[in-house]
Structure 1
Amino acid sequence: MERGVRQRHSSSFGTAAAAYAEHRPDYAPTAARWVLGSAPGPRVLDLGAGTGKLTGTLLGLGVDVVAVEPDPAMLAELRRALPAVRSFSGSAESIPLPDASVDAVVAGNAMHWFDMAVAGPEIARVLASGGVLAGLWNVMDDRIGWVAALERVSGRAAIGPRDTLSSWRTATVGMHLPGSSAVARFGSPEQREFAHSQRRTADTLVATIATRAGILVMPEREREATLSRIREFLSSRPETSRGEFSLPMLTGVLRTRRL
Structure 2
Amino acid sequence: MPTHHLRAAAESFGNDAARYDRTRPPYPVALLDRILAASPGRRVLTAGCGTGIESRQFRDLGCTVLGVEPDPRMAAFARATGIPVELAKLEDWEPAGRTFDLVTAGTAWHWIDPVAGARQAARVLVPGGRLAPLWHVFTPPDELTDTFGATFRRLVPDSPFDPGKRPAGSALDGYRPILTAAADGIRAAGGFAEPEEWHEAWEKAYTRDEYLDQMPTSGALTRLPAEQIAELQATVGAVIDRMGGGFTMRYVTVAVTAVRE
SS at match of 1:214: coil
Q: Distance in 2 between matches of 1:32 and 1:3?
A: 25
Count the aligned residue pairs.
247
Residue number in structure 1 paired with 2:12: 12
RMSD of aligned residue pairs (Cα, Å): 2.6
CA drift of 1:214 comes to 0.5
Residue number in structure 2 paired with 1:147: 141
SS at match of 2:92: coil
8 Å CA contact 2:78–2:84 kept in 1: the answer is no
- Find the partner of 1:255 among 232, 254, 257: 257
Residue number in structure 2 paired with 1:117: 115
Please, what TM-score do these two structures have when normalized by structure 2?
Answer: 0.84
- Find the partner of 2:96 among 95, 98, 115: 98
Q: Compared with structure 1, are the counterparts of its residues 252 and 148 closer, same or farther at alpha carbon in structure 2 (3 Å cutoff)? A: farther
Q: Distance in 2 between matches of 1:256 and 1:159?
A: 32
Indicate yes or no: 2:214 matched with 1:208: yes
CA drift of 1:122 comes to 1.7
Q: Distance in 1 between matches of 2:8 and 2:239?
A: 29
Q: Compared with structure 1, are the counterparts of its residues 150 and 38 closer, same or farther at alpha carbon in structure 2 (3 Å cutoff)? A: same
8 Å CA contact 1:52–1:78 kept in 2: the answer is yes
Sequence identity (%): 27
- Find the partner of 1:172 among 171, 176, 179: 179
CA drift of 1:139 comes to 2.4
Please, what TM-score do these two structures have when normalized by structure 1?
Answer: 0.84
Q: Distance in 2 between matches of 1:122 and 1:75?
A: 20
Q: Distance in 1 between matches of 2:56 and 2:165?
A: 25
Residue number in structure 1 paired with 2:46: 46
CA drift of 1:227 comes to 2.2
SS at match of 1:179: helix
Where do 5+ consecutive residues of structure 1 fail to align?
Answer: none
Q: Within 5 A, what are the aligned runs for 1:215-234?
A: 215-234=221-240
Q: Distance in 2 between matches of 1:5 and 1:59?
A: 31
CA drift of 1:78 comes to 1.0
Q: Compared with structure 1, are the counterparts of its residues 119 and 28 closer, same or farther at alpha carbon in structure 2 (3 Å cutoff)? A: same
8 Å CA contact 2:19–2:213 kept in 1: the answer is yes
CA drift of 1:31 comes to 1.2
